Structure 1
């Protein structure tokens, strides 16, 4: 099975919209603060069109089997780096997981970032999403800071 990593285009929108909802469904068990029903994390067409975003897909044959993006963000003024790439929309079709596809997408996003002289990459992952944590650690990421929360409205949890 040959896997090609390429930049996404508007012809990929239907598949990417399905991936977006599949990602929401996969993350729901880790986040009790998400609203019920369909959610729209990303404006995918906007990401594809943006100069400061690289969105890539993994493809085998004519089937898109994974995706991810790197978005260049300004960093906090007290950090050494002025900008960093934020990775998001990381998704691989379940029956293709464990084949190194996420790693291939991350490698493409790293190269895209380096070509833009961005040398810091960050991402967010749910603290209890052990599979994702393991995959990102395997790709070279290390935990940096943990966001903690407290719900004061018991009717909302």
Structure 2
């Protein structure tokens, strides 16, 4: 029986985290023609590991990192009933480990951290046509809220 665990990421995890970042970019590239060609970066991973308002989690199986995700505390818009929320991102699971509940374990760790910080709202963004990701987030309790629209000029 495989035992998958989660823990806070460290700078020693950087090689795997950089690979996960490229995995996220490649997974999202088909949904967004505005993403720069390879190589490109999404994240300041050093900051994500060290900043007190960000909790970067990795999932581990038999000493190998197989997934990641982060929660970042942000100030909410002044008209909302929650002064702060956690924005979730860098959600990635190695393809060979998808369907094993890894995303759910990562989400649970992020939820627990957010609750411990007094946060009552989680938010994330997902490409509208990315049906597998939408389904995975809905399975963890998220619901669709708003569609962001764009127009290239």
Normalising by the smaller structure, the TM-score range is over 0.9
Aligned residues: 152
Return the alpha-carbon distance in structure 1 between the equivalents of residues 34 and 75 of structure 2: 27
SS at match of 1:66: strand
Please state how far the C-alpha of 1:51 moved relative to its aligned partner.
0.2
Which residue matches 1:21? 22
Which residue matches 1:57? 58
Which residue matches 2:101? 100
Which residue matches 1:146? 147
Which aligned runs of 4 or more in structure 1 are off by greater than 6 angstroms? none
Return the alpha-carbon distance in structure 2 between the equivalents of residues 97 and 133 of structure 1: 14
Q: Deviations over 1:39-82 (max 9, x none)?
A: 11101111010000000000011100000000000000000000
Which residue matches 2:88? 87
Return the alpha-carbon distance in structure 2 between the equivalents of residues 85 and 114 of structure 1: 10
Describe how 1:5-20 pairs up with structure 2 within 5 A.
5-20=6-21
TM-score w.r.t. length of structure 1: 0.95
Return the alpha-carbon distance in structure 1 between the equivalents of residues 150 and 120 of structure 2: 30
Which residue matches 2:5? 4
Return the alpha-carbon distance in structure 1 between the equivalents of residues 84 and 91 of structure 2: 20
TM-score w.r.t. length of structure 2: 0.98
Q: Deviations over 1:112-139 (max 9, x none)?
A: 0000000100000000000000000010
Structure 2 unaligned regions, length at least 5: none
Please state how far the C-alpha of 1:90 moved relative to its aligned partner.
0.1
Structure 1 unaligned regions, length at least 5: 153-157
Return the alpha-carbon distance in structure 1 between the equivalents of residues 9 and 151 of structure 2: 38
SS at match of 2:43: coil
